[in-house]
Structure 1
Amino acid sequence: MKLRFLGKNSQVGDCPTLYATDRDTYLVQGWKIFADDLLLQLTLSAGDTAVEVPTELFEHLEKDGFASGEFKRLEDPLMVLTPGGTYVVQGRAVTDPETLAQMSIPDYETVIEVSKAAITALLEEPRGADLQRRAQPAL
């Protein structure tokens, strides 16, 4: 898989990063999720996982030809806007060694693959009922 770096939101070190691929997908490198209360809100299929990223990461979609990286709605694969103002993104876990070798991934991060169509659909104005779900803080 060929990757094209779109951007990340850090001055130093490794951090959540967005890549475009030659397969009409995006790779989202983000923080592993360890919070059980957050994981319980997700429905993950076999082979899928979720990562947490700052909302600003998707501003880099502009480098892929979009006028804005501002999401107008939240639904699959972006499942949750956390109370801390981050997104939880779910997708296919990237396990291919050649692909992973093209990135610098610290132990506390992982990478998922999400279709471009699924991500770019979130840039459109909401249709019908608001499908946004917000994470509920643990009691």
Structure 2
Amino acid sequence: MALHMLGKDPNSENGQSPTVYYDDVTGNYILQGWKVLDADRLAQMSIPEHETVIEFPARMMQFFPEVSGGSGHVV
């Protein structure tokens, strides 16, 4: 499996996070973001034990090729 970093949040302090990756084996995106710990927000979702919830800013949608109109994935 090879993960390709598509982009980091340009407004993130020290460029650490959030980050969008593309998995070229599964064709899925992997998102690194802030843990959602707010009980009120989590209570509004049905989250199975094998899943987790993260949050990332809308400004990062630019890194998804489907949004940016890109034909390929950034390495």
TM-score bucket (shorter structure): 0.7 to 0.9
| Residue aligning to 2:21 | 19
Residue 2 of structure 1: how far off its partner (Å):
1.0
TM-score where L is the length of structure 2:
0.76
Report the Cα distance in structure 1 between the residues aligned to 2:37 and 2:49, rounded to whole angstroms. 18
The runs of at least 4 consecutive aligned structure 1 residues that moved more than 3 Å come to none
Select the residue among 28, 31, 44 that pairs with 2:31: 28
| Residue aligning to 2:44 | 41
The runs of 5 or more residues in structure 2 that have no matched partner are 69-75
The runs of 5 or more residues in structure 1 that have no matched partner are 70-139
Task: Supply the AA of the counterpart residue of 1:10.
Answer: P
Corresponding residue SS for 1:49: coil
On the 8 A contact 1:18/1:58 being kept in 2, the answer is no
Task: Supply the AA of the counterpart residue of 1:27.
Answer: I
Residue 9 of structure 1: how far off its partner (Å):
1.2
Report the Cα distance in structure 2 between the residues aligned to 1:13 and 1:6, rounded to whole angstroms. 13
More helix by share: 2
Q: Percent identity?
A: 32
Task: Supply the AA of the counterpart residue of 2:7.
Answer: G
TM-score where L is the length of structure 1:
0.43
More strand by share: 1
Residue 10 of structure 1: how far off its partner (Å):
3.1
What is the RMSD of the two structures over their aligned residues, measured on CA atoms?
A: 1.5
